[in-house]
Amino acid sequence: MDGVGAGPAARRTGVVAPAPEPEFPDVEDGQELVLEDLTREQVLDGRNRAAADHQLVFDHIDRYGELSAQRLFTRAFVSQVQRLSGLGHLNLGYSTWGQA
């Protein structure tokens, strides 16, 4: 091995530097978030984070409105998150097992 790049030993350790997380650009209060100004990576990152944490959808709705959330996350996803939250499926902080 000539020392250039990561060799097999580095690959075997599984140590990988995390990729920088794309963030939504800062938007001042009262201003509109222009979805067309977001990069593809920012949109995909936002959708992935919202899939893991549905509160992000509600936060986006509170700040930018439901139409913006539907455009960013898809109308079907926003509808599903709202429907499931009404059923209590997103309340994962407690369990009914073993409470008898």
Question: Are the beta carbons of 69 and 78 closer than 8 angstroms?
Answer: yes
- DSSP state letter for 37: G
Is 100 within a domain? no
Instruction: Tell me if the pTM is above 0.75.
Output: no
Q: For position 20, what pLDDT does the model report? A: 43
Mean pLDDT of 27-56: 85
Mean pLDDT of 49-78: 93
Task: Please state, for a pLDDT cut of 70, what percent of the chain lies above it.
Answer: 55
Domain count, the chain: 1
pLDDT band at 18 (very low <50, low <70, confident <90, very high): very low
Where residue 37 falls (left for φ over 0; alpha for ψ -120 to 50; beta otherwise) is alpha
Is 22 within a domain? no
Question: Are the beta carbons of 48 and 23 closer than 8 angstroms?
Answer: no
Is 60 within a domain? yes
Q: pLDDT per residue over 25-40, tens digit each?
A: 555 555 667 888 899 9
Is 77 within a domain? yes
Q: For position 21, what pLDDT does the model report? A: 39
Is 70 within a domain? yes
Mean pLDDT of 1-28: 50
Higher-pLDDT residue of 75 and 22 is: 75
Question: In which domain, by residue range, is 62 found?
Answer: 35-86
Return the amino acid letter for 40: R
